[in-house]
Amino acid sequence: MKLTIFGTGYVGLVTGACLAEVGHNVVCIDVDQRKIDALKAGIIPIWEPGLEAIVKRNVAEQRLRFTTDVAEAVRHAEVQFIAVGTPPDEDGSADLQYVLAVAESIARHMPAYRVIINKSTVPVGTADKVAARVDAVLAERGAPIPFDVVSNPEFLKEGAAVGDFLKPDRIIIGTRSAAAQERMRELYEPFNRNHERTLFMDVKSAELTKYAANAMLATKISFMNEMANMAEILGADIEEVRKGIGADPRIGYHFIYPGCGYGGSCFPKDVQALGRTADQIGYHAPLLKAVEAVNTRQKTVLFDKLASHFGGSANLRGKTVAVWGLSFKPNTDDMREAPSRTLMEALWAAGARVQAFDPVASAEARRLYGERPDLQLYDSKYAALQGADALAICTEWQQFRAPDFEEMKHMMSTAVIVDGRNLYSPVRMQRDGWDYYGIGRPRGQ
Ligand code: NAD
């Protein structure tokens, strides 16, 4: 099948590469000329395990190509995906300008029937807005061409995006049009061979499913963080509590890890956008607001623990803090809304210096913060510790799980760790002479 994908970011590029991998003929289009030039030169703009090999193979086998030419991209295929960003507007609602701009581009150039599939995360009602925009342009053109708008939200996780896309838990398709359903069945056929993963539903339910999924996961995290903060005051160990509740199959072990807050390009903006949708329909949604508020507060816990260890934030002036992990989670270079950013910015505001290490996100940190005297980026986890007064762990990269604590003590000026991911045993750390602070855990007595 021929397919076109608008937007060549995390979702668009993975979607394009994986759909080419199963045999479709895919054109990826982006407005970012530099990104497209890089991809044409074989440079993958994001760090995502397995992606480079798939992109290169499918480009070589001529099932995948990149362009900035809108007319060519719309002509290429009957099926057109929208996978552009939907960042938060000033009030937190999803900004639809990029989605609607693509709708307009498609309408301007479509020569015949098109299925317009929205993969971006968008509020309920967006498919109607896309259809209205397409109708308006077609009317202007005097070209009454038929089309369908389908909601097909994406559930891939950064860091495991290729695997998630190729082996999805479910494929949600929102449309009542028989013509569009037929195309969607053919498109996703290769993913349904072993068992049916596709769920057809109406457009609005499909749009809401994406927000409901992200809001549920964010709720689990904020709930555990709330429990962790209480456990800390009560003298309980949240890690024991986590195992105790996870053993109940109604609760399960997934997504109940306490930490220094969730980040990334999805949870924060999607919970916020769903909250704004509630406001717009006049529905009071205290749970959603609380999930967001708990997370905002949780992102400050590492700073608060450092400040309290050193006897107040004023005492952080002139201190050097090593930070391990900059990306919002392991296996990605994405730093959007990452807890590391909240911590570093608070440390800088307090007059401290940061020595940071991340296995893949240093370039992104440099892009975000530029050269500044209070940020030093290192290419090894130990080098970042040199002369540090404390270490803060923001991301649970594998290589942080069993470091050489003796070596670390030699490098740091004081043996202090604030661990936003509960990687180590408080008892062992205490025994080995560390001032170790986890999240929601007693301090190793
Ligand atoms: P991204 O910012 O990485 O990529 C968006 C791309 O769209 C950019 O390259 C941008 O240049 C391009 N673009 C903007 N306007 C365009 C236009 N008119 N024509 C062509 N290209 C255009 O964003 P992303 O992380 O891939 O997210 C895309 C959507 O998917 C969002 O709605 C997001 O919420 C959703 N989503 C993201 C993830 C994730 O893990 N990143 C997962 C599921 C869903």
Domain 2-201 has CATH 3.40.50.720: yes
266 is catalytic: yes
227 CA to centre of ligand 1 in angstroms: 34
Q: For residues 144 and 141, what is the distance between their CA atoms, to the nearest angstrom? A: 8
Mutate-to-test residue for ligand 1 from 14, 66, 84, highest number of ligand atoms within 8 A of CB: 84
Residue with tokens 């993963």: 197
| DSSP bridge pairs for 6 | 29, 82
For ligand 1, atom 38: residue with the closest CA: 11
Protein residues with CB under 6 Å of any ligand 1 atom: 6-12, 29-32, 35, 83-86, 98, 101-102, 120-121, 154, 156, 158, 265-266
Instruction: Give residue 328 CA to ligand 1 midpoint distance, Å.
Output: 17
Which position has the token pair 């750390």?
Answer: 429
**For the packed helices 203-234 and 267-280, what is the interaxial angle rounded to 10 degrees?**
110
Would the CA dihedral through 288, 289, 290, 293 be positive or negative?
positive
Partners of 231 in the β-ladder = none
CATH 1.10.10.60 fits 211-296, yes or no: no
Q: Are 401 and 423 within 8 A, CB to CB?
A: yes
Of all protein residues, whose CA lies closest to atom 28 belonging to ligand 1? 85
Binding-site residue numbers for substrate are 155-158, 210, 255-259, 263, 329, 432
Same topology, domains 2-201 and 299-437? Answer is yes
The atom number, within ligand 1, closest to the CA of 11 reads: 26
How far apart are the CA of 98 and the centre of ligand 1, in A? 9
299-437: CATH homologous superfamily? Answer: NAD(P)-binding Rossmann-like Domain (3.40.50.720)
Tokens read off for 104: 């307009």
DSSP label at residue 384: G
Supply the pTM of this predicted model. 0.95
The domain limits of the chain are 2-201, 211-296, 299-437
Q: What is the structure's pLDDT at 368?
A: 98
pLDDT attached to residue 444: 66
End-to-end CA distance of the chain: 63
CA of 393 to the centre of ligand 1 (A): 29
Sequential pLDDT tens for the chain (445 residues): 999 999 999 999 999 999 999 999 999 999 999 999 999 999 999 999 999 999 999 999 999 999 999 999 999 999 999 999 999 999 999 999 999 999 999 999 999 999 999 999 999 999 999 999 999 999 999 999 999 999 999 999 999 999 999 999 999 999 999 999 999 999 999 999 888 999 999 999 999 999 999 999 999 999 999 999 999 999 999 999 999 999 999 999 999 999 999 999 999 999 999 999 999 999 999 999 999 999 999 999 999 999 999 999 999 999 999 999 999 999 999 999 999 999 999 999 999 999 999 999 999 999 999 999 999 999 999 999 999 999 999 999 999 999 999 999 999 999 999 999 999 999 999 999 999 999 999 986 5
Index of the ligand 1 atom closest to the CA of residue 121: 32
Residue in 18, 28, 266, 394 annotated catalytic: 266
Spatial distance between the Cα atoms of 265 and 242, rounded to a whole number of angstroms: 26
Q: Find out whether 330 and 361 touch, Cβ atoms under 8 Å.
A: no
Residue 93 to residues 39, 63, 74, 77, 342, Cα–Cα distance (Å): 31, 37, 29, 32, 22
> Is the CB of residue 352 less than 8 Å from the CB of residue 374?
yes
Render 180-222 in DSSP notation, one character per residue.
HHHHHHHHHGGGSSSS--EEEE-HHHHHHHHHHHHHHHHHHHH
How remote is the CA of residue 92 from the centroid of ligand 1, in Å?
17
Q: DSSP secondary-structure letter at 248?
A: S
Q: Give the relative orientation of helices 267-280 and 286-298 as an angle to the nearest 10 degrees.
A: 150
Residue 265 CA: which ligand 1 atom is closest? 41
Residue of 30, 165, 217, 336 best suited for mutating to test ligand 1, as the one with most atoms within 8 Å of CB: 30
Helix (H, G, I), strand (E, B) or coil at 170: coil
